[in-house]
C-alpha cells in the first residue's frame, strides 16, 4: 500500500514539518503571502526616505513631482494592504519554531499587527489631510482621487502632523522587524527569515 506523504500524517508537529525535505515540507508562508509581503516592503522602503526628503523640503525643483509620487505610491498601497490583511486572516502562516521564547513570540505578534494597523491607517490619514488642505491627489498623472474630507486647513495641519508621527512609528517598527529577522538568521541560525523568502 502506498505510504501517505509525511505532511498528510496526523500528529506531526510544525517543527517536524519545517525540517522535512523541500518536496515534502509545508511552507510557512504561501507564495501569495510572500509576494504581498515583499511588494509591501519594497513600497515602504521607497516611501520612508521619500517622506523624509519631503518633510525637510529637500526636493528643490522636483518637490511637486516627489509629492505626486508619494501620494501615488500611498494609493497603490491601500488595496495591497487590504488584500494582504484579508489573505493573512484567511491563510495564517505556520507558528514560529518551537524554540522561540514566549516573549519573542509576543513581540513578533505585537510588531506584525501594529505594522498592519499603522500601514492601513497611514494612507487614509494622508488622503484626508490632503483633501482637507485642500489639494489635488493625482495618481501617476493618470487620474485624480476624489477628496474624502471637506476643506479645513486647521484640521489638515493636524492630520499632516499625525501623518508624520505615524510614519516615524512605522519606520521604528520596520527597523525592529528587520533587526529581529537578521538576528534570527545570523545569531540564532533558525529559519524565521527564510520562511518569508523560500517558504
Question: Is 115's pLDDT higher than 80?
Answer: yes
Instruction: List the domain boundaries for the chain.
Output: 28-195
Q: 143 phi and psi, to 5 degrees?
A: -155, 170
Predicted model pTM:
0.84
Give the mean model confidence (pLDDT) for residues 131-157: 95
Given CA atoms 70, 73, 75, 80 in this order, what sign does their dihedral have? negative
pLDDT score, position 17:
42
pLDDT score, position 25:
57
Question: Is 11's pLDDT higher than 70?
Answer: no
For residue range 181-196, list pLDDT tens digits in order: 999 999 999 999 999 9
- Pick the closest to residue 120 from 157, 161, 86 (CA basis): 86
Question: Is 33's pLDDT higher than 60?
Answer: yes
Please tell me the distance from the alpha carbon of residue 193 to that of residue 34, in angstroms, as a whole number.
Answer: 11
Q: What one-character DSSP code corresponds to residue 95?
A: P
Question: Is 24's pLDDT higher than 50?
Answer: no
For residue range 75-114, list pLDDT tens digits in order: 999 999 999 999 999 999 999 888 899 999 999 999 999 9
- Pick the closest to residue 70 from 56, 54, 58, 84 (CA basis): 54
Please tell me the distance from the alpha carbon of residue 45 to that of residue 170, in angstroms, as a whole number.
Answer: 11
- Pick the closest to residue 87 from 40, 20, 25, 17 (CA basis): 40
Question: Is 18's pLDDT higher than 70?
Answer: no
- As a whole number, the mean pLDDT across the chain is 87
Give the mean model confidence (pLDDT) for residues 34-38: 97
Question: Is 20's pLDDT higher than 70?
Answer: no
The domain defined by 28-195 folds into: Fumarate Reductase Cytochrome B subunit (1.20.950)
Across 96-121, b (16+ Cβ under 10 Å) vs e yields bbeebeeebeeebeebeebbeeebee
Amino acid at each position: 500500500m502506498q505510504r501517505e506523504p509525511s505532511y498528510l500524517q496526523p500528529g506531526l508537529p510544525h517543527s517536524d514539518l519545517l525540517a522535512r525535505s523541500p518536496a515534502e515540507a509545508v511552507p510557512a508562508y504561501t507564495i501569495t503571502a510572500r509576494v504581498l509581503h515583499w511588494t509591501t516592503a519594497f513600497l515602504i522602503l521607497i516611501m520612508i526616505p521619500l517622506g523624509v526628503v519631503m518633510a525637510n523640503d529637500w526636493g528643490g525643483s522636483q518637490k511637486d513631482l516627489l509629492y505626486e509620487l508619494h501620494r501615488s505610491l500611498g494609493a497603490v498601497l491601500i488595496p495591497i494592504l487590504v488584500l494582504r490583511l484579508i489573505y493573512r486572516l484567511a491563510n495564517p502562516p505556520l507558528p514560529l519554531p518551537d524554540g522561540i521564547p514566549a516573549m519573542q513570540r509576543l513581540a513578533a505578534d505585537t510588531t506584525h499587527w501594529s505594522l498592519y494597523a499603522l500601514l492601513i491607517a497611514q494612507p487614509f490619514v494622508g488622503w484626508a489631510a490632503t483633501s482637507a488642505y485642500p489639494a489635488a491627489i493625482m495618481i501617476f498623472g493618470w487620474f485624480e482621487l476624489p477628496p474624502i474630507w471637506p476643506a479645513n486647513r486647521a484640521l489638515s495641519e493636524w492630520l499632516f502632523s499625525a501623518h508624520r508621527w505615524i510614519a516615524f512609528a512605522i519606520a521604528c517598527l520596520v527597523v525592529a522587524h528587520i533587526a529581529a529577522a537578521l538576528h534570527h538568521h545570523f545569531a540564532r541560525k533558525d529559519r524565521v527569515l527564510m520562511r518569508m523568502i523560500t517558504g
